């Protein structure tokens, strides 16, 4: 054993050592204790993690399910609902709860059904209703912080720290019209970066943004998936669906992606093969509005645009044009905001250019990106 071995915080039996690109596992199948509930090997159990109250709020809950396989193996955490109006991932996890059979599963799957319950119930995009914070900007969180920070702290300590692999599943938020894609972060330890690339391929989305600018400090990891990676866990942020919709294809795409990852990690025999020839996206930019007013999208997600193409138009509240927001370089539109309200500084769309080269593992990139993810990511 080395310093990289971890004993799962609430399980006296499960011993995981992260070495190289994947976990080395020992021990017979063990009960999995989470949120005060013990899930025996070969069974599934659901309960709620408690987020304690703080100044001005009574806390909240994080509903979860543990599918504990009959053989020991990886601990895969699937997290939905980090943002409040992102429904296909939430609905996919409802299905996966019963679709993943613990009797034939190797390892353990943790399903976080709704990470951000305050935002989900209040139907708020981007920001939590109590504190105005973006949950996916406050990781690893604080035990005694704002409600969003306390949620992040519980997810970090109870879920991410228990997992060997983490997938944070998003879609376009309630105002965002999006084509499916994922983010591959290349700023962590080489073995983690390499294993995260494999996760992205296994999840199967055919557009992958090469993310070169995420923090590497575990104390200031900011993003959920980045929190896992800075702690040595391969991770992925996936995007499927959006615009408040609950369409079947966006839900099924998540189900297929999870099945592909389960197969890739050796947790289950069936599952789709990895995507063979993804579109790697390098230079990318979130375009933002310079004004507050009404937004008119002028492109669709998946559309190829030339440099200078008008992505969106902003008018004042009487209809006078204030700004045409243009693509700063040729590329593909991954999402565009498709509802009228817009505030100065908010994202209006995301454009990305095909990567000239896929980074060599370890951080060297073919072309540096300029990623500034939108507030909803």
| Chain contacts with Zn ion (rule: CB under 5 A) | 83, 170
What are the angstrom distances between the C-alpha of 325 and each of 83, 178, 313, 336, 372? Answer: 26, 18, 6, 11, 17
Place of tokens 């990781």: 139
- Alpha carbon 155 to its chain centroid, in Å, reads 13
Contact by Cβ (8 Å): 182, 205 = yes
Alpha helices (H) along the chain: 87-99, 117-122, 147-154, 190-203, 224-230, 248-264
Q: Least distance (Å) from Zn ion to the CB of residue 375?
A: 9
C-alpha span between 75 and 299 (Å, rounded): 40
Angle separating helix axes 248-264 and 190-203, nearest 10 degrees: 130
Complex with Zn ion: residue 331 or 374, whichever CB lies closer: 374
Complex with Zn ion: residue 251 or 305, whichever CB lies closer: 251
Q: Least distance (Å) from Zn ion to the CB of residue 15?
A: 34
DSSP state of 64: E
Complex with Zn ion: residue 170 or 197, whichever CB lies closer: 170
Q: Least distance (Å) from Zn ion to the CB of residue 377?
A: 6
C-alpha span between 290 and 287 (Å, rounded): 10
C-alpha span between 326 and 142 (Å, rounded): 39
C-alpha span between 99 and 355 (Å, rounded): 36
Complex with Zn ion: residue 165 or 170, whichever CB lies closer: 170
Complex with Zn ion: residue 83 or 207, whichever CB lies closer: 83
Complex with Zn ion: residue 84 or 140, whichever CB lies closer: 84
Complex with Zn ion: residue 49 or 135, whichever CB lies closer: 135
Residue 58 burial (CB < 10 Å; 0-12/13-18/19+)? exposed
Q: Least distance (Å) from Zn ion to the CB of residue 66?
A: 24
Q: Least distance (Å) from Zn ion to the CB of residue 128?
A: 13
Q: Least distance (Å) from Zn ion to the CB of residue 376?
A: 5
Q: Least distance (Å) from Zn ion to the CB of residue 276?
A: 27
């Amino acid at each position: 054993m080395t310093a990289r071995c971890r004993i799962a915080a609430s399980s006296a039996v499960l011993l995981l050592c992260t070495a190289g690109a994947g976990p080395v596992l020992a021990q017979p199948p063990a009960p999995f204790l989470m949120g005060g509930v013990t899930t025996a090997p070969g069974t599934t159990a659901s309960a709620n993690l408690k987020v304690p109250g703080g100044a001005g709020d009574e806390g909240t809950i994080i509903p979860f399910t543990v599918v504990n396989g009959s053989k020991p193996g990886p601990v895969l955490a699937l997290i939905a609902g980090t943002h409040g109006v992102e429904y296909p991932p939430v609905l996919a996890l409802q299905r996966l709860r019963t679709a993943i059979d613990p009797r034939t599963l190797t390892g353990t799957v943790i399903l976080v059904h709704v990470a951000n319950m305050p935002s989900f119930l209040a139907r708020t995009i981007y920001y939590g209703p109590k504190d105005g914070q973006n949950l996916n900007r406050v990781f690893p969180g604080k035990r005694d912080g704002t409600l969003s920070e306390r949620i992040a702290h519980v997810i970090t300590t109870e879920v991410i720290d228990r997992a060997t692999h983490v997938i944070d599943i998003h879609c376009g938020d309630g105002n965002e019209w999006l084509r499916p894609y994922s983010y591959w972060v290349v700023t962590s330890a080489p073995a983690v970066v390499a294993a995260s690339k494999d996760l992205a391929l296994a999840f199967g989305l055919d557009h992958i943004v090469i993310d070169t600018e995420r923090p590497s400090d575990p104390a200031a990891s900011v993003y959920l998936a980045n929190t896992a990676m800075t702690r040595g866990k391969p991770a992925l942020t996936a995007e499927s669906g959006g615009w408040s919709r609950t369409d079947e294809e966006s839900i099924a795409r998540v189900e297929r992606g999870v099945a592909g990852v389960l197969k890739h990690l050796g947790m289950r025999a069936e599952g789709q093969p990895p995507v063979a020839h993804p579109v790697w996206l390098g230079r990318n930019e979130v375009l933002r509005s310079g004004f507050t007013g009404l937004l008119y999208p002028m492109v669709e997600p998946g559309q190829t645009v030339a440099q200078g193409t008008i992505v969106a138009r902003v008018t004042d509240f009487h209809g006078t044009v204030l700004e045409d927001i243009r693509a700063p370089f040729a590329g593909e539109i991954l999402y565009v905001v498709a509802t009228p309200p817009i505030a100065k500084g908010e994202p209006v769309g995301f454009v990305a250019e095909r990567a000239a080269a896929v980074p060599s593992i370890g951080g060297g990139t073919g072309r540096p990106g300029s990623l500034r993810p939108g507030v909803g990511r």
